[in-house]
Structure 1
Amino acid sequence: MPYIKKLYEDSFPASEKKPFEWMMDSEERMLVVMADQKVCGLLFTLEDETGILIDYFAIDGRFRQNGVGSRVLGLYLEQAGKPVILEIEDPGSASNEQERKLRLRRKDFYLRGGLKLQDYRVDLFGVRMEMLATIDQFTYNAYVALLKNCLFEGVENHVSKV
């Protein structure tokens, strides 16, 4: 588990992370990604009756050029059995050009993987996010309901449509 925790800590900005220990004790579902019998990634999800939120998805940088991330995403979306939604940092709100390019690469990765840009953005705990889903319209209300069902009472006070 130390490797997974380190990968999680290293892969996401502080403004987006939940405490790792909380996630291990919560409704988060953790999937460990393996390649060549080595742990190389993680996928944390939240799920209710309406859909699945990919909360965190990271592949160790040493495995990224081998297409591991694309294969994992494709397999996961294939077997999900219900709509999948995820939040990505809005490229338009990046603080510099390097960060904007990174966010655009991330967005392109998910679009190539078959997700569709939704017609709304959210402010989630002060971070502006674009929304992607496997269906044409995963509504804002359904997204907030999923958060409320899976996280904590009052989470809706920390998310707004922008």
Structure 2
Amino acid sequence: MLQFFDVTRDAPWFPQVKALYESAFPANERIPIKHLLDDKIKQEFWAFFDKDDGESGAAENTADENTATPRFCGFSNSISHGDITNIVYFAVVPELRSRGYGSQILQVIREQHPDTRIVVDIEVEEDSKDAEELERRNRRRDFYLRNGFDASPVDYVWQGEHYRLLTAGGTVTDKEFRDFWKEILKDIPGAKYP
């Protein structure tokens, strides 16, 4: 059974989340993790655990202290405004990839935001520097497509990396995406938006 909990600096799983964040995303694609914990922006920063009791697909937001320690599977960080939810960061523990955890995590996010358009950004495949990087980018794109996301015409550059949006639950225009980030970051001095 998949469970999820808020990530806070005091959470016992914070070191695992931080280590996965730093290993899963290159330095140019990360912001300081303290900003993911900052309450100036209303965001969801969740750690996901497999309760390992034979059930699958369900998610809870409560801890059960009387059972075996659940296995840390991954995390997500998303921001919602209006009818758009942007999954900003999302990673599964490397040794647990290709076991369905990523799909389950996406399902939880969609269940928590049933009436929103969900967007993710992926690095543009044609910008890859070598065959191995191209293969990773293609796998990432195919994963999202298998999980109900569609290609979008929106591309942007942020911190030197070229991204393309994929959407689920409806299309998001370039203007909507930029307006989303302008609104989210309006009270953050010096913040850069896509």
In 2, distance between residues paired with 1:118 and 1:47?
19
1:50 alignment partner, one of 80, 83, 90:
83
1:23 alignment partner, one of 36, 57, 60:
36
- Tell me the residue number matched to 1:6: 19
Paired residue type of 1:116 = D
- Tell me the residue number matched to 1:120: 154
In 1, distance between residues paired with 2:72 and 2:183?
30
Deviation at 1:136, TM superposition (A): 4.1
Whether the aligned pair in 2 keeps the contact of 1:41 and 1:57 (CA below 8 Å) is yes
Deviation at 1:79, TM superposition (A): 3.3
Q: Which runs of 5+ in 1 are unaligned?
A: none
Q: Identity rate of aligned residues, in percent? A: 27
Q: Which has the larger radius of gyration?
A: 2
Deviation at 1:19, TM superposition (A): 0.2
Whether the aligned pair in 1 keeps the contact of 2:117 and 2:171 (CA below 8 Å) is no
In 1, distance between residues paired with 2:75 and 2:163?
21
SS at match of 2:162: strand
SS at match of 1:148: helix
SS at match of 1:33: strand
- Tell me the residue number matched to 2:121: 87
Normalised by the size of structure 2, how large is the TM-score?
0.76
Deviations 1:97-149 (A, max 9, x none): 10011000000000000011102311123210011011442011111121122
**Alignment root-mean-square deviation, CA:** 1.7
Deviation at 1:12, TM superposition (A): 0.5
In 2, distance between residues paired with 1:71 and 1:135?
17
Whether the aligned pair in 2 keeps the contact of 1:118 and 1:136 (CA below 8 Å) is no
Higher helix share: 1
Q: Which runs of 5+ in 2 are unaligned?
A: 1-13, 53-69
Paired residue type of 1:7 = L
Query: Closer, same or farther in 2 for the Cα pair 1:18/1:142, shift >3 Å?
Result: same
Number of residue pairs matched by the alignment: 158
60-69 vs 94-103, greater mean Cα deviation: 60-69
- Tell me the residue number matched to 2:166: 132
In 2, distance between residues paired with 1:115 and 1:78?
15
Normalised by the size of structure 1, how large is the TM-score?
0.90
